[in-house]
């Protein structure tokens, strides 16, 4: 089977023809596939994924049925943090290809009806970036230092960091130079934070955005979108460990009100078109309401919903986070996003219990996620049911977050298994940059493509139904009463067309659901008992129902 030449799924809506036309609001319910470039597909066989590799697999993504891809940073970088340490925002790192490859990739994606979102990293650069090198050379009072956050230290001879801020990757957020000054890095020391009060910084990023828009990018995933502005005077946090506060508490270096000005500016830039280009915030805030500020009508289009991602496999908790998510984005008129995994967290098959249990729950979670109103993200490999790799030999681990996050993030970044019976399963010729577990033989794209029972087939079917069924995607959700440990809801789109009933059993016993309409899809086989469907443990199912079949709107 040659998946690279597989024909794409049915043509996209007519309004999408290479350069997206205005007015589709495609992003309100798009399914966006996250490509971690290093680990997706390797065209030149060096064991590291590349842009030509992505291009060769675009037919796979089109056939899978997603609407867009978000590609993690592929710019020139020393790769201290997997490319989130950029030296040149207008280039492609030679490991990943050339600028011409990027242009061809975008154009080819558009031909196949796929949009392309690129990742932009505005909070920090690499320490090898020309600006930081200039800052180092400039000396203590050189103006080139003003583009970053340099400060004298505290203590009798400045031997203590300027404040108590901690890096997200662990340890102090400040590093001292031989000349005595300290610079701020909220992540690795090789990722100095930019000073967003400096006009050069704003102008530079406007220009970088325009550069990629001109090359056809359909939008940006904005890294650390909550981090660019720091509280005036850089006050101490005064509470430790700060890692406990990240994403939950208030800290003076994240989610400051001033950051929204930057996003408003970018929204204006995106609005210049042509087409509908979007901004997606990777932002963490102490509450869902504060998070919704990033998607007010004059700001970005989407923000990742990490609260949903962090919720356990538990019906009551899931219902609560779904309700809160919809209630927070609704008032600002933005779509909610639904994320189960990404390149920074343990894969959800493993989070949900691992092995067959985890995979079974992950399949049900996929149907839940794709049935919710809004836009959904699929992290590469989740459509294959890949688990986290927990036994990568220590000497091969590369993640700078290794210290602060037990095991680090390499385990969710293992190269994708495409085909064949032996590692690296069609990724590279010798071996991937991280070793693939031999048992992934049964999880390759090739092994799953024609297997009726595979997770890949489940995703393909779900995505096809989601595209065709008018009740899915954007629209309303009504909760229905259901047995304990179950989520039951009905979806309706914006018209009076058919509705969709989704039931999810997160418990460990079979339950009976009064079934209506016709079964569209289930994550495990289900059987009927009289008028009821018997939903086994950790199973989800979709039915198509008619509007006349009035829902019981209890619950
Ligand atoms: C968030 C990215 O997703 C992560 O991979 C990276 O390490 C940090 N931002 C720093 O850029």
Which DSSP string do the residues of 40-74 spell out, in sequence order?
H--SSSSSS--HHHHHHTHHHHHHHT-SEEEE---
Which residue, by CA, sits nearest to atom 4 of ligand 1? 344
State the pLDDT at residue 546.
Answer: 86
Atom of ligand 1 nearest to the CA of 186: 10
Position 550 scores a pLDDT of 53
List, in sequence order, every beta strand (DSSP E) within 129-258: 150-151, 174-176, 182-184, 219-222
Cα 136 from Cα 152, distance rounded (Å): 14
Is the CB–ligand 1 distance for residue 50 below 6 Å?
no
Evaluate whether 497 touches 472 at the Cβ level (below 8 Å): no
Query: Which pair of structure tokens corresponds to residue 295?
Result: 């998607």
Whether the CB of 225 sits within 6 Å of ligand 1: no
Task: Give the number of the atom of ligand 1 that is nearest the alpha carbon of residue 72.
Answer: 3
Please give the torsion angle defined by the CA atoms of residues 262, 267, 268 and 272, in that order, rounded to the nearest 10 degrees: 140
Q: Tell whether ligand 1 has an atom less than 6 A from the beta carbon of residue 119.
A: no
CA-to-CA separations, 284 to 81, 235, 292, in angstroms, rounded: 19, 20, 10
Conformational region of residue 97, where left means phi above 0, alpha means psi within -120 to 50, and beta covers everything else? left
Reported as type and span, the H/E element at residue 513 is strand 511-514
Q: Are 539 and 523 in contact (CB under 8 A)?
A: yes
Residue 547 pLDDT: 77
Secondary structure letter of residue 217 according to DSSP = -
542 lines ligand 1 (CB under 6 A): no
Q: Is 14 helix (H, G, I), strand (E, B) or coil?
A: coil
Structure tokens belonging to residue 116 = 């392309």
User: Is ligand 1 within 6 A of the CB of residue 187?
Assistant: yes
The C-alpha atoms of residue 23 and residue 249 are separated, in whole angstroms, by: 38
Whether ligand 1 lies within 6 angstroms of the CB of 399 is answered as no
Interacting residues of 535 by C-beta distance below 8 A, sequence separation 6+: 486, 503, 505, 510, 511, 512, 513, 526, 541
Tell me what pLDDT residue 16 has: 40
Is the shortest distance between the CB of 127 and ligand 1 below 6 Å?
A: no
Residues in the chain, pLDDT under 70: 1-22, 403-404, 548-555
The number of the ligand 1 atom at minimal distance from the alpha carbon of 169 is 7
The first and second tokens of residue 415, run together, are 């190269």
The CA distance from 373 to 305, in Å, is 13
Q: How far is the CA of 111 from the centre of ligand 1 (A)?
A: 30
CA of 121 from ligand 1 middle (Å) equals 9
Nearest CA, atom 5, ligand 1: 344
Residue 213 CA to ligand 1 centre (angstroms) = 22
Q: Which atom of ligand 1 is nearest to the CA of 342?
A: 3
Buried b (16+ CB within 10 A) or exposed e, 483-515: bebbbbbbbbbeeeebbbbbbbbbbeeebebeb
Burial 398-413 (b: 16+ CB within 10 A, else e): bbbbbebbebbbbbbb
Q: Judging by DSSP bridges, how do beta strands 31-35 and 68-71 pair with one another? A: parallel
406's CB contacts (< 8 A; 6+ apart) are none
182 Cβ closer than 6 Å to some ligand 1 atom: no
**Tokens in use for 298?**
């004059």
Q: Which of 282, 344, 412 gets mutated to test ligand 1 (max ligand atoms within 8 A of its CB)? A: 344
Using a 6 Å cutoff on CB, does residue 282 contact ligand 1?
Answer: yes
- CA-proximal residue: ligand 1, atom 6 (nearest): 84
User: What is the signed CA dihedral for 290, 291, 292, 297, rounded to 10 degrees?
Assistant: 100
Atom of ligand 1 nearest to the CA of 123: 11
Give the active site residues.
223, 282
Contact of 45 with 36, CB cutoff 8 Å: no
Q: Is there an atom of ligand 1 within 6 Å of 388 CB?
A: no
- Tell me the CA–centroid distance for residue 223 and ligand 1, in Å: 6
The predicted pLDDT at position 243 comes to 84
> What is the per-residue pLDDT across 403-462, written as a single tens digit (0 to 9) for each?
667 779 999 999 999 999 999 999 988 889 999 999 999 999 999 999 999 999 999 999
Q: Which domains does the chain have, with CATH numbers?
A: 3-125+198-391+430-467 (3.20.20.80), 130-184 (3.90.400.10), 476-545 (2.60.40.1180)
**Measured at the alpha carbon of residue 395, what is the angle toward residues 389 and 398, in degrees to the nearest 5?**
70
Pick from 224, 225, 345 the residue to mutate for probing ligand 1's pocket: most ligand atoms within 8 Å of its CB.
Answer: 224
Strand partners, 541: 503, 522
300 Cβ contact partners less than 8 Å away, ≥ 6 residues apart: 222, 225, 263, 266, 267, 278, 279, 280, 281, 294
- For residue 121, the ligand 1 atom closest to its alpha carbon is 11
Q: At what angle do helices 259-271 and 199-214 cross, to 10 degrees?
A: 30
Ligand 1 contact, 81 CB (< 6 A): yes
* Ligand 1 and 490: CB distance under 6 A: no
CA of 156 to the centre of ligand 1 (A): 35
Distance 84 CA to ligand 1 centre (A): 6
The pLDDT of residue 407 is 77
For 276, which DSSP code? -
Sheet containing strand 499-505, edge to edge, reads 476-479, 486-492, 499-505, 539-545, 518-522
User: What's the gap in Å between 187 CA and the centre of ligand 1?
Assistant: 8
404 Cα–ligand 1 center, Å: 14
């Amino acid at each position: 089977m040659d998946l690279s030449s597989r024909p794409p799924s049915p043509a996209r809506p007519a309004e999408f023809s290479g350069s997206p036309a205005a007015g589709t609001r495609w992003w309100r319910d798009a399914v966006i596939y996250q490509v971690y470039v290093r680990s997706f597909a390797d065209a030149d066989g060096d064991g590291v994924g590349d842009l030509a590799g992505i291009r060769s697999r675009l037919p796979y993504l089109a056939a899978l049925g997603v609407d867009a891809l978000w590609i993690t940073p592929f710019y020139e970088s020393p790769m201290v943090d997997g490319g989130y340490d950029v030296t040149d925002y207008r280039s492609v790192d030679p490991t990943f290809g050339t600028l011409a490859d990027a242009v061809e990739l975008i154009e080819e994606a558009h031909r196949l009806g796929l949009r392309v979102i690129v990742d932009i990293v505005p909070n920090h650069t690499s320490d090898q970036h020309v600006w930081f090198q200039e800052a180092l050379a400039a000396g203590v009072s050189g103006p080139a230092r003003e583009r970053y956050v340099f400060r004298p230290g505290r203590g009798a001879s400045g031997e203590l960091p300027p404040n108590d801020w901690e890096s997200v990757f662990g340890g102090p957020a400040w590093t001292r130079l031989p000349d005595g000054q300290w610079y701020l890095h909220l992540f690795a020391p090789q990722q100095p934070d930019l000073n967003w009060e400096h006009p050069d910084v704003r102008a530079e990023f406007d220009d970088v955005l325009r550069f990629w828009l001109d090359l056809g990018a359909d939008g940006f995933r904005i890294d650390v979108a909550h981090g660019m502005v720091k509280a005036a005077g850089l006050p101490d946090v005064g509470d430790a460990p700060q890692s406990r506060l990240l994403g939950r508490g208030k800290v003076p270096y994240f989610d400051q009100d001033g950051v929204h000005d930057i996003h408003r500016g970018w929204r204006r830039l995106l609005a210049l078109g042509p087409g509908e280009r979007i901004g997606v915030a990777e932002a963490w805030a102490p509450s869902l309401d504060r998070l919704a500020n990033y998607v007010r009508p004059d700001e970005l289009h989407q923000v990742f919903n990490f609260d949903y991602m962090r919720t356990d496999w538990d019906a009551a908790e899931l219902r609560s986070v779904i309700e809160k998510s919809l209630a927070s984005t609704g008032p600002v008129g933005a779509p909610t996003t639904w994320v189960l995994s990404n390149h920074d967290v343990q894969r959800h098959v493993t989070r949900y219990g691992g092995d067959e249990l985890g995979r079974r729950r992950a399949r049900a979670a996929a149907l839940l996620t794709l049935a919710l109103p809004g836009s959904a993200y699929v992290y590469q490999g989740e459509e294959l049911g890949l688990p986290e790799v927990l036994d990568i030999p220590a000497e091969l681990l590369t993640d700078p977050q290794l210290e602060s996050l037990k095991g680090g993030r390499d385990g969710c970044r293992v190269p994708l298994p495409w085909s064949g019976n032996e590692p690296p399963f069609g990724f590279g010729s010798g071996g991937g940059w991280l070793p693939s577990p031999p048992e992934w033989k049964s999880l390759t794209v090739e092994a799953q493509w024609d297997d009726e029972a595979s997770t890949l087939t489940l995703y393909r079917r779900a995505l096809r139904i989601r595209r065709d069924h008018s009740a899915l995607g954007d629209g309303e959700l009504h909760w229905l009463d259901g047995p304990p440990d179950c989520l039951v809801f009905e979806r309706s789109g914006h018209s009076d067309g058919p509705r969709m009933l989704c039931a999810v059993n997160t418990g460990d016993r079979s339950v009976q659901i009064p079934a209506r309409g016709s079964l569209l899809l289930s994550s495990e086989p289900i059987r009927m008992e009289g008028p009821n469907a018997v939903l086994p443990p950790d199973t989800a199912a979709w039915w198509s129902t008619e509007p006349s079949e009035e829902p019981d709107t209890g619950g």
